[in-house]
Structure 1
């Protein structure tokens, strides 16, 4: 079967890889000059199935109200006359209850854990490297209240069979020696030994090269996707800046821009961009630098070691498709890093970046058929966890398109889960 994948981020490229492994003739289209030049370019670097949780938790509305008055709030909303934003926020709030939180988190854990296993297999089979480490992740709690609240998520981790352990200050310093002198800042932590880290941009570019050279995948870069041509029940072709392309099946993996492509077809995809930021800086003192990934639960900032670099990522803004760099957001990233690992990297040499995370109201990506069009498939809406969930999502999608039995339950990942809401 001939398949066109729209989007060459980590989600699109991994889907193309698994589709080609199934014997399909795959073409990938992207407007950038190479793979992973948008949201996959400089994300936080963590592959964290154990850290997979929806923003839509029962306490979120109260937290947002409190954060609205703070300059360094981890989540900010920039009010605007945008119906898509207002609708998305309404759907998010509808999920802010204990019942939906449990369902959504269990879905996310399922696909994230499966994806980590798929990545492990892919790494063994291909020998691909990407400044990767398999050292686990530590979530740091600065207050006892945060530590107490972690018990709810630990119960869900137990149900999902994900290894975890509570750490005291000394345990944290043992796993991350760079934090030994900062023990007074936190009450404890949660360690997820199965989590990993790595450079998503490096991985995606290297996998795209392997897909092209070893599996015959065709990449059309610097080619903007303009529209989908549709009949009543199927897609007839895709219009691009370099002409019209046709295939037997089409996969939309365009991140935050996916709903804009689908809207003219009458498909309401509940994906909205949540803007994130990162700093990448050279290591100057390895003894003080992180060994893997540390998440600061207070500021929602992660600090990840990527070879001889440190990646500081986090924060979230609802501000539409705005890609301007914010001074306040940079200050927040620098503040969290300086308090935890100050002196281990040179902030004056940091590269500052922002990207748009394609987020769904329930936190779970949309993977599967559209229902209305028989040959149109979706693989998008991964939010902050595109790197974490990419391989599993691509494998599930390839199995479904190939009419193979999937290795995990997946019917509740498709778009029709929103039909009754």
Structure 2
């Protein structure tokens, strides 16, 4: 089958690769001069699906909803979002309170781990040296920031992702830069 992929970002190129790997004829069409010049470029090559897990269970514990206002809000709607934005926000928060939210977190964690494993396999097969790690280091300046991050950390732990707190010296050992 001949398939045309629109967009040569990380999703488009990964999709094209997998389809070609399965034996399809694939053409990728990109409006820019090179691949990954827009959103994929802005992510700086970060492959960390676990960072998205807390957003799959918004409001699961009620704390996120209390942090939607003010300078340190977890999420803010842009000005002009209007009633449509408020409806989306309400639905998003209700989804996190759903009885099956924990199942979704586990499924998202499994999908993220499968994605990382496939990325590493492809990098090995193509002999590509990609910078990757086995985790994500989240830097927090003080105990107040830790308190704000607690719902996200709990969501990660609930999804089966190992979470541990380290001191500044250990953080420097993990990431000297």
Alignment of 1:241-390 (within 5 A): 290-291=175-176
1:174 matched residue in structure 2: 170
Q: Contact 1:8–1:29 at 8 Å: present in 2 too? A: yes
The normalised TM-score by structure 1 is 0.36
CA RMSD of aligned residues (A): 2.9
Structure in which a larger fraction of residues adopt helix: 2
In the alignment, the residues of structure 2 paired with residue 148 and residue 78 of structure 1 have an alpha-carbon distance, to the nearest angstrom, of: 25
Q: Contact 1:49–1:112 at 8 Å: present in 2 too? A: yes
In the alignment, the residues of structure 1 paired with residue 90 and residue 149 of structure 2 have an alpha-carbon distance, to the nearest angstrom, of: 29
Structure in which a larger fraction of residues adopt strand: 1
| Cα shift at 1:82 | 5.5
2:114 matched residue in structure 1: 114
In the alignment, the residues of structure 2 paired with residue 174 and residue 81 of structure 1 have an alpha-carbon distance, to the nearest angstrom, of: 42
With over 3 angstroms needed to count, the CA separation of the structure-2 counterparts of 1:26 and 1:17, relative to structure 1, is same
1:47 matched residue in structure 2: 47
| Cα shift at 1:33 | 2.0
1:75 matched residue in structure 2: 75
In the alignment, the residues of structure 1 paired with residue 155 and residue 54 of structure 2 have an alpha-carbon distance, to the nearest angstrom, of: 13
2:138 matched residue in structure 1: 139
The normalised TM-score by structure 2 is 0.77
| Cα shift at 1:103 | 3.0
Per-residue CA shift, 1:210-259, capped at 9, x if unaligned? xxxxxxxxxxxxxxxxxxxxxxxxxxxxxxxxxxxxxxxxxxxxxxxxxx
With over 3 angstroms needed to count, the CA separation of the structure-2 counterparts of 1:106 and 1:62, relative to structure 1, is same
Considering only CA atoms, is the larger Rg found in Structure 1 or Structure 2? 1
In the alignment, the residues of structure 2 paired with residue 25 and residue 125 of structure 1 have an alpha-carbon distance, to the nearest angstrom, of: 20
In the alignment, the residues of structure 1 paired with residue 96 and residue 154 of structure 2 have an alpha-carbon distance, to the nearest angstrom, of: 18
**3-state SS in 1 of match to 2:107:** helix
1:57 matched residue in structure 2: 59
Q: Contact 2:49–2:109 at 8 Å: present in 1 too? A: yes
Per-residue CA shift, 1:23-63, capped at 9, x if unaligned? 11111122222211111112154322443414223332211
Q: Considering Cα pairs closer than 8 Å and 6+ residues apart, tell me whether 1 or 2 has the greater RCO.
A: 1
| Cα shift at 1:175 | 4.2
**3-state SS in 2 of match to 1:118:** helix
**Count of residue pairs the alignment pairs up:** 169
| Cα shift at 1:152 | 5.2
| Cα shift at 1:104 | 2.8
**3-state SS in 1 of match to 2:99:** helix
**3-state SS in 1 of match to 2:128:** coil
1:30 matched residue in structure 2: 30
| Cα shift at 1:168 | 3.9
In the alignment, the residues of structure 2 paired with residue 147 and residue 156 of structure 1 have an alpha-carbon distance, to the nearest angstrom, of: 16
| Cα shift at 1:21 | 1.0
With over 3 angstroms needed to count, the CA separation of the structure-2 counterparts of 1:77 and 1:44, relative to structure 1, is farther
Does residue 104 of the first structure (1) align with residue 104 of the second (2)? yes
With over 3 angstroms needed to count, the CA separation of the structure-2 counterparts of 1:135 and 1:90, relative to structure 1, is closer
In the alignment, the residues of structure 2 paired with residue 54 and residue 18 of structure 1 have an alpha-carbon distance, to the nearest angstrom, of: 28
Per-residue CA shift, 1:371-414, capped at 9, x if unaligned? xxxxxxxxxxxxxxxxxxxxxxxxxxxxxxxxxxxxxxxxxxxx
Does residue 156 of the first structure (1) align with residue 154 of the second (2)? no
Provide structure 1 residue ranges, at least 5 long, that are not aligned to the other structure.
179-289, 292-304, 306-421
